[in-house]
Structure 1
Amino acid sequence: MSHVAVVGGHGQVARLLHEPLVAAGHQPVALVRNEAHRGELEGLGAEVRMLDVEQQDAAAFAAAFEGCQVVVFAAGGGPDGNIERKRTVDLEGSLKSIEGARLAGIRRFIQISAIGVDAPLPEDTGDVWRAYVEAKRDADAALRASDLAWTILRPGRLTDDPATGLVELGEHVERGDVTRADVAAVVARLVDEDLSVGHQWNLVGGDTGLDDALARAVRGD
């Protein structure tokens, strides 16, 4: 059993991740800044620890990661128009998580990003979307440049529809929608898939079962 630190442990994908981790035999450790979320998250099987992604430094992240073997970065600045939070959460939160993992001696790191963030942005891109894409892009680049055993998952447009268990996963998968529940299910599988280390994959809804999709992605099909 691995203890899996989930940064942004009360986020929309993270809340769907705890139960699949428990079902796979792992102990999720939900890192949140609001004590009021404790009861809900413990009800999902997570251990809850306090961490303010924006206000605390990498050393505090390392302390919060104590006893964990895996870090999942699932935090996000939210859908509102706060450009600053795209930097302080999506980028700086990731950078502090990477450094915190290094300080804590944790090698395995899974990052939930977004599809297409390496592509050039049109000149008329809105300021908020530009800030979001640039934050995700730079966070992914920093993780790839680290010496951690990383996997980057880049979902398409997220929906709240029920899980389908059917996806497309791979380096060159085109844009599309994917349910948050399916994203969580894939992340839970990545924790146990050593062959996913060093890979950056897009994820959208499809017609392939999760296990087969992961096997195909590992083979490069």
Structure 2
Amino acid sequence: MDILVAGGHGKVALRLLRILAAQGHTAHGLVRSPEHAADLRAAGAVPVLGDLERDAALDAYVKGADAVVFAAGAGPGSGPERKRTVDLGGAVKLADAALATGVRRYVMVSSIGADRPESAGDTMRPYLMAKAEADDYVRGSGLDATIVRPGSLTDEPGTGRVRVTRELGGRGPVPRDDVAAVLAHVLTAPATIGLTFELFGGDTPIPDAIAGL
């Protein structure tokens, strides 16, 4: 498969690109800074220079792909406005580009709490509101979408074992390694199309966990 990952230099995205390349896929990573290109190449990926915020459309980057993954984020140090332009606006642009270019498969990296943003504190609420709106847009787009909501991300080594659930409202940590591995698996699991699920560290091997959704 030819897969474009938006937010290609992120901690989860780089892990995902490395896995995809190792599996024999053509892994493209959309990044804003030319300085990040070397890191993508080191992961076996093809860097694609583009700006989620400033580019009017992303069609040129998406065209020719078999699937897209939205793994971008404004980051914890950004204000509410960038949450709207990146976490929401970037996800919407990617969906619109997929629709415009005939790319059906869309995998969204969302967040725990996006089902109830109003209950979050002042710091997290703008982020979760942006994520919630982005998820709703992608779900309503008609794309073959899967929405993955990881728990608290850690840099602990991955175990290849997770807990996934379609019942929303859970809490718990999950290694970034395992999030990336789940995303890679989901991309080739058509049965996950149309699903929104939460993801935590757990005891079930990833293929079995995804098959059980």
Q: TM-score range by the shorter chain?
A: over 0.9
Q: Match for 1:163 among 158, 163, 178?
A: 158
- The aligned residue for residue 68 of structure 1 is 65
Say which of 85, 104, 108 aligns to 2:82: 85
Aligned to 1:137: 132
**Partner Cα distance (2:116, 2:79) in 1:** 22
State the identity %: 43
State the distance in 1 between where 2:14 and 2:55 align. 22
- Cα distance in 2, alignment partners of residues 16 and 162 from structure 1: 12
Aligned position for 1:36: 35
Map 1:1-221 → 2, pairs under 5 A: 2-58=1-57, 61-119=58-116, 121-122=118-119, 125-126=121-122, 128-172=123-167, 174-217=170-213
> Take 1:81 and 1:186, find their aligned partners in 2: how far apart are those partners?
27
List runs of 5+ in structure 2 lacking aligned partners.
none
Count, aligned residues? 212
Q: Please give the alpha-carbon distance, in whole angstroms, between the structure 2 residues aligned to 1:66 and 1:97.
A: 11
Q: CA deviation at 1:83?
A: 1.5
Cα distance, 1:120 vs. partner? 5.2
Report the residue type matching 1:154 in the other structure.
R
Distance 2:11 2:18 in 1: 13
The one-letter code sitting in structure 2 at the alignment partner of 1:151 is: T
Q: Give the C-alpha shift of residue 23 in structure 1.
A: 2.4
Task: Normalising by structure 2, report the TM-score.
Answer: 0.96
Return the letter of the residue paired with 1:134.
M
SS state of the match for residue 124, structure 2?
helix
Once superposed, what is the RMSD of the aligned Cα atoms?
1.2
Supply the distance in 2 between the matched residues of 1:117 and 1:143 (Cα, whole angstroms): 14
Q: Retained in 2: the 8 A contact 1:6–1:29? A: yes
Contact 2:146–2:194 under 8 Å retained in 1:
yes
Structure 1 Cα separation of the partners of residues 60 and 117 of structure 2:
37
Report deviation, 1:116: 2.4
Q: Could you list the per-position Cα deviations for residues 64-101 of structure 1 after superposition, in whole angstroms to 9, with x for gaps in the alignment?
A: 11221100000001011422111110000000000011
**Ranges in structure 1 where 5+ consecutive residues have no aligned partner:** none
In the TM superposition, structure 1's runs of 4+ consecutive aligned residues that sit over 3 Å from their partners are: none
1:25: how far off?
2.2
CA distance in 2, matches of 1:93, 1:120: 19
Q: What SS does the aligned partner of 1:75 have?
A: coil
CA contact (8 A) 2:22 2:44 kept: no
Is contact 2:59-2:98 (8 Å) kept?
A: yes
